[in-house]
Amino acid sequence: MTHDFFDCIDGLESFSIIKDGLYKDTYRCLYKGRRAILSHYQIDINPFNIDPKREFNLLSSIEQIKLTPEPLFYDEEFKIMIVTEVEGEHILQSTNRKSLLSSLAKSLISLHSYPVDDLDYAFHDSLIAYGRQMENEDEKSVFKAAIELHDSLSDEHGKYCLCHNDLHPENVLCSDQIQFIDWEYASLNLPYFDLAYAIEHFEMSESEILYFLSEYGLATQDIDIETLEQFGKLSKYVTLIWLLILNKCYTIKPSETKLMTSLKTELNV
């Protein structure tokens, strides 16, 4: 980070790098005496259609549901966002997994029921942006399958709500309550996507799935397993597309290569 960045941020006292990423660099900092996270977005390299201003405005509009970091600062010129640092442990580190799955489900009720009349960015918009990165025939085939599945599910279950869209364990922290971080992929979407994504990435057992969904408010007899499986399939397509895009931008990790190969096999693409 250069001195130009210091000049535009009154109250930034110190910072240290957390992660040097493809489209944003993330720092831990002190901002006006508060522990905070600073994100510097490089959206000239933006295959995922990230918009930090959209993210900051969303965090500001839903702050009262207490599921997000507090937005503190945004600079449009330098594409810098500062939010409070969320303290807590990841769910997979907790010894009381059942309690935390309950908290996760109830937090999703709050998120999915929150009115967001001013938000017009939908997950379909993200998918279209991803599709523009799919160049060869194999990649185009993956995208075609993903967008057709998404559209068919939207036609059948078309009640949209605010979704996080990236609920893997690293983005869920728990102290006194659950909080979600990294909201850059958030958009209008179908609630089953968040549920299926969390089930997949938290590696829930069958009994945990039933408990998680019951805590979300779905009675056992009301759980549509086939629909849930279709949304799980969609989340796998999205993960595969993300990996295909990342693989164009840098040499992905061996674990990511293994996951990409596994998803291609599972999805038969």
Q: Render pLDDT for 139-156 as a digit per residue (tens, 0 to 9).
A: 999 999 999 999 999 988
Q: Kindly report, residue by residue over 157-200, the tens digit of the pLDDT.
A: 878 999 999 999 999 998 888 999 999 999 999 999 999 999 99
CA 248 to chain centre: 21
List the CATH code of the domain at 3-84: 3.30.200.20
Give the pLDDT band of residue 95 (cuts 50, 70, 90).
low
* DSSP3 helix / strand / coil % (the chain, rounded to 5): 50, 20, 30
* Dihedral sign computed on CA atoms, order 166, 16, 52, 23: negative
Name the residue ranges covered by the structural domains of the chain: 3-84, 89-267
Helix, strand, or coil (residue 144): helix
Average pLDDT of the residues of the chain: 91
pTM of whole model > 0.75? Answer: yes
Report the SS3 class of residue 252.
coil
pLDDT at 4: 64
- Give the pLDDT band of residue 115 (cuts 50, 70, 90): very high
pLDDT tens string 32-61: 999 999 999 987 767 788 999 999 999 999
Sequence length of the chain is: 269
pLDDT at 92: 62
What is the CB neighbour count within 10 angstroms for residue 7? 10
Supply the pLDDT for residue 251: 84
Predicted pLDDT at 93: 57
Kindly report, residue by residue over 213-234, the tens digit of the pLDDT. 999 998 777 888 899 999 999 9
Q: What is the pLDDT of residue 176?
A: 80
> Which CATH superfamily includes the segment(s) 89-267?
Aminoglycoside phosphotransferase (APH), C-terminal lobe (3.90.1200.10)
DSSP string computed for 96-116: -HHHHHHHHHHHHHHHHHS--
Residue showing tokens 């061996």 = 254
CA distance 93 to 110: 24
CA–CA distance, 182 with 205 (Å, rounded to integer): 26
